[in-house]
Amino acid sequence: MGCLISDSWVVVVLLLPVFWVFYKVWMMMMRRDEVERNGGGFAVPRGSWGWPLIGETLEFIACGYTSKPVSFMDRRKSLYGNVFRTHILGKAIVVSTDAEVNRMILQNHGNAFIPCYPKSITELLGKSSILQMNGSLHKRVHALIGVFLKSPQFKARITRDIENVIRVSLSNWMNKSCQVYVQDETKKITFEILVQVLLSVGPGEEMNFLKREFEEFIKGLICLPIKFPGTRLYKSLKAKERLLKMVNKIIKERKNAMQKTEENGPPNDAIDVLLRDTGYSDEMQQRRLPLDFISGNIIEMMIPGEETVPTAMTLAVKFLIDNPVALAHLVDENMELKNRKTRHVKNILGQITCLCHLLKIRSFTTSAHHTFSGYLIPKGWCVLASFSSIHMDEMNYENPYEFDPWRWKKVGAAVSSNLFTPFGGGQRLCPGLELSRLEISIFLHHLVTTYRWAAEKDEIIYFPTVRMKRKLPITIMPLQQ
C-alpha cells in the first residue's frame, strides 16, 4: 500500500509541470481571445477565468448549496466592481450586478441581446422555443398570451377554477395520515391549474399522463448535454416526444372543431389564443403559427406549473413557519375576509404583503443569460444579469436574508423600481405574472383558513433550482369550522 501511495505522488509531481504549462497556455489563449474579439480597442470587464476548462464552475455550484448563494457574485463584485467577467459552465460570461445595466438588458428589443442558455435547455426546448425566440415573433406570441391572461373574462373564470382545485386538493390532505410534503402537493395543484389554462384538460387519465411525462421531461433541463441512450438528456427528449404526440392530438382536434363551428367567442385557453391568431410577419409575408410550433410552446409554458409557482408557495409556508407573528397576522386577516358575505380576490392579493419578500427570495433562479454583440462586451460572450444580487444587496434592502413581510411599507417605491425584478421586465416580463400572484394568494388564503400545521426541520437548497431539501414535511391539523 505504501508503495502505491509513493508511486502516486511521483506521478502527481511529474505531471505538475505539464499542468502548469497547460494552465499558462490556457490563460494566454483567453487573453488573446479577449483582444481579438474586442478588436484591441476596448477594455473588457475585469475578472478571473479560474481553472483551465472548468473555470470557476465548482465555486459557483458550491455557493448554491450554502445559505447565501449570491456569495459567488458578492465576492467578485467586491474585487472587480458591479460588472465583471468569469468562466462558468463552459462559457465566458460577463456578470452584471448593476441595476441600471440589468434594466438596459431587460429593455432591449433584440438588437443588442439575444437569449443564451445552457446546451441541455436548448436541446430540450428546441429552436422555436419562446425562451430562445427573439424579435417580432417573440413579441407577437408574448403579447397574445399576456393579453389573454389579463382579460377580465379569463380572470373571472380562472379564479373559480383555482378556488375549486385548491379546495379539492386541501380536502384530500386529511387522507395522507395528517402528514403532507408541501413541495409535492403544491406541484400537483399548480400543474393542474396551468394545464387547464393551456389545454382545458381536467383531472383524469390525460392529466395524469401529462404530469408523469412532464416530470420526466423537466429533469433534463439542467444536465450534461449527452444524448446517448440511458442518459438523462436522452430520457427527457423521449418524454418530450410523448408529450408532443398528445398535445398535437389535442391541438388538431381543437382546430377541426373550430373550423366546423366557426366559434367567435372569447378564447377558453392558450391553444384557442394561438390557433386564432391572424398571423405573424415572416419575410414580408403573413403566416399563421404552425401546429408544431404551438405544441412545443404549450409544453414549455407548463414549466412554471412544475417549478416556479409551486416553489414560491412552498417557500411561503416555510417562511410563515419561521415567523409566527407574520403567520398570526395573516390568519387574522384571512379569517376576517372569509367571514365576510362578499369577498374579493383583490383584497386577498393586497393584504398578503409577505408575497413580495417571497418573490424576492425566489428570484435566485431568475437570472437571464444573453449574448451581447456590441460595445465593451466581446461579441459571442454571454451576459448574466444577476437580479438576485440586487435583491439581496444590503445597500438596497436592510437585512435582505431575513423574512420581513413589513419591509415593503418602509421601502415604498423601491418595489416597482429597478431594484425589484422577480418577474423580469421589458419584452421578457413574465406574461403569467398576475396568474402566479392569484394562485399563490388563493392558496395561502385557503391554507391558513383550513389548517394549522407543525413542521419538521428542513432547509432551502439553491442549486440547480430552488427547492426544499426534504420537500417540507408538515403535520396538519384541521380547524374547527
Other CB atoms within 10 A of residue 391 CB: 23
How many angstroms from the chain centroid is the CA of residue 413? 25
Count Cβ atoms within 10 A of the Cβ of residue 398 and give its class: 0-12 exposed, 13-18 middle, 19 or more buried: exposed
d(CA 151, CA 143): 12
Give SS3 for 371: strand
Give SS3 for 441: helix
**Letter string b/e over residues 1-37, b meaning 16 or more CB atoms within 10 A of that residue's CB:** eeeeeeeeeeeeeeeeeeeeeeeeebeeeeeebbeeb
Contact criterion met (CB below 8 Å) for 371 and 427? no
**Residue pointed to by grid coordinates 398528445:** 246
Q: Are strands 460-461 and 113-115 parallel, antiparallel or unpaired?
A: unpaired
The type of residue at 225 is P
Crossing angle between the packed helical segments 205-218 and 182-199, to the nearest 10 degrees: 110
d(CA 106, CA 94): 15
d(CA 101, CA 385): 8
d(CA 384, CA 371): 9
Give SS3 for 222: coil
Q: Is 63 marked as a binding-site residue?
A: no
Residue 96 main-chain phi, psi, to 5 deg: -110, 125
d(CA 247, CA 393): 43
**For the chain, what is the largest distance between any 2 Cα atoms, rounded to a whole number of angstroms?**
84
Binding residue numbers for heme: 430
Binding residue numbers: 430
